[in-house]
Amino acid sequence: QVHLVESGGGLVQAGRSLRLTCEPSESYYIWDMAWYRQAPGKQRELVASLAANGTTAYADSVKGRFVISRDDSLKTGHLDMNNLRPEDTAIYYCSAYLYSYDVSPRPYWGQGTQVTVSS
């Protein structure tokens, strides 16, 4: 069954950077995608989104620090996180509409990757 695979999480000090990657488990293409995060005791929140036409949007808390992107191959998505803060600590989830030549875009979620920022 097709799903999204995330990687790149870890433990970093405040002020450092991390790059998260999101890839389909099979040979599907990314139509549009978004990154969400959920901190302990809090609701899942939208961090960044990338529309099929390339339009991006960011939560105010990460604007100017995070960048969402998709490779030209349309098979890999990224979230570049710069100048990380302790309040960025959360499990980060990738969500995307995936398609192939004979399958219309359908929504999928990743399993999440932990990002921990120490002060």
pLDDT in tens, 46-81: 999 999 999 999 999 999 999 999 998 999 999 999
pLDDT in tens, 5-61: 999 999 999 999 999 999 999 989 999 999 999 999 999 999 999 999 999 999 999
pLDDT number for residue 83: 98
Other beta carbons within 10 angstroms of residue 114's beta carbon come to 12
pLDDT number for residue 1: 84
Q: Label residue 88 by pLDDT band (50, 70, 90).
A: very high
Closest CA to 81 of 96, 92, 70: 92
Which residue type is seen at 111?
Answer: Q
Phi, psi of 28 (to 5 degrees): -120, 165
